[in-house]
C-alpha cells in the first residue's frame, strides 16, 4: 500500500499519512473486511486511491501558496497575478491601542503631539500654531509622551 500511495503522490510523507488513514478506515469498518466480497488488499488499495483523489481535489480547490520571493514586486510571475500583501492585523491592533492611549491624554498634550508628530512641525512652528511659547510646547510634548507611554503599557 505504501509503495502504491508513494507512486500516486510522489511524496513519501504524504503517502504514509494516506496509508495511515486507510488503515484507520479499515479498523473502523471491520465488517467490510470479513463479508466475503473481494479481497482485503483490493479494498485497501481502493481506499488509498480514494483518499489520494480527495487530497488532490482539496489541494486544487485552495489557492496556491506563494513563496516570499514571489511576493516581492518584480518577482517571478509578478505580471500574471496581483501582488500578495501581508497581514495587516498587527498594524490594526497597534492603531487601536494608540488611539485608546491618545484618548487618555489632555487636550493640550494631544494638540502638541498632533502638531509635532502628525503635521511634522518643529517646536517654533508648533508654538506659533498653538499660540503658546516654545518652552511650553517642549514641556508638553515631553509629558505627553510620558503619559502616552504609560497608557500604552497599561493597555
Q: CATH code at 33?
A: 1.10.1740.10
Q: Is there a domain that residue 72 lies in?
A: no
151 and 97 in contact (C-beta within 8 Å)? no
Q: Is there a domain that residue 86 lies in?
A: no
- Which residue's C-alpha cell is 509503495? 3
Q: Is there a domain that residue 89 lies in?
A: no
Q: How far is CA 131 from CA 111, 128, 135, in A?
A: 11, 5, 12
Average pLDDT of the chain?
Answer: 84
* Residue 73: CB atoms within 10 Å: 6
Is pLDDT of 78 > 60? Answer: no
Condensed to tens digits (0 to 9), the pLDDT of residues 94-151 reads 888 888 888 899 999 999 999 998 899 999 999 999 999 999 999 999 999 999 999 8
pTM over the 0.85 mark: no
The pLDDT of residue 26 is 87
The C-alpha atoms of residue 130 and residue 123 are separated, in whole angstroms, by 10
- State which residues form the domain around 103: 96-154
Q: CATH code at 137?
A: 1.10.10.10
22 and 1 in contact (C-beta within 8 Å)? yes
Amino acid at each position: 500500500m505504501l509503495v502504491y500511495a508513494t507512486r500516486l503522490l510522489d511524496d513519501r510523507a504524504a503517502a504514509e499519512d494516506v496509508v495511515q488513514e486507510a488503515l484507520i478506515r479499515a479498523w473502523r469498518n471491520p465488517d467490510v473486511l470479513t463479508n466475503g466480497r473481494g479481497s482485503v488488499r483490493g479494498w485497501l488499495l481502493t481506499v488509498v486511491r480514494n483518499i489520494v483523489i480527495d487530497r488532490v481535489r482539496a489541494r486544487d480547490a485552495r489557492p496556491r501558496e506563494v513563496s516570499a520571493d514571489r511576493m516581492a514586486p518584480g518577482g517571478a510571475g509578478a505580471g500574471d497575478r496581483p501582488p500578495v500583501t501581508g497581514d495587516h492585523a498587527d498594524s490594526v491592533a497597534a492603531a487601536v491601542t494608540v488611539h485608546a492611549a491618545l484618548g487618555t491624554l489632555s487636550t493640550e498634550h494631544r494638540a502638541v503631539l498632533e502638531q509635532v508628530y502628525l503635521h511634522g512641525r518643529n517646536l517654533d512652528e508648533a508654538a506659533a500654531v498653538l499660540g503658546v511659547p516654545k518652552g511650553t510646547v517642549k514641556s508638553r510634548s515631553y509629558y505627553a509622551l510620558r503619559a502616552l507611554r504609560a497608557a500604552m503599557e497599561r493597555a
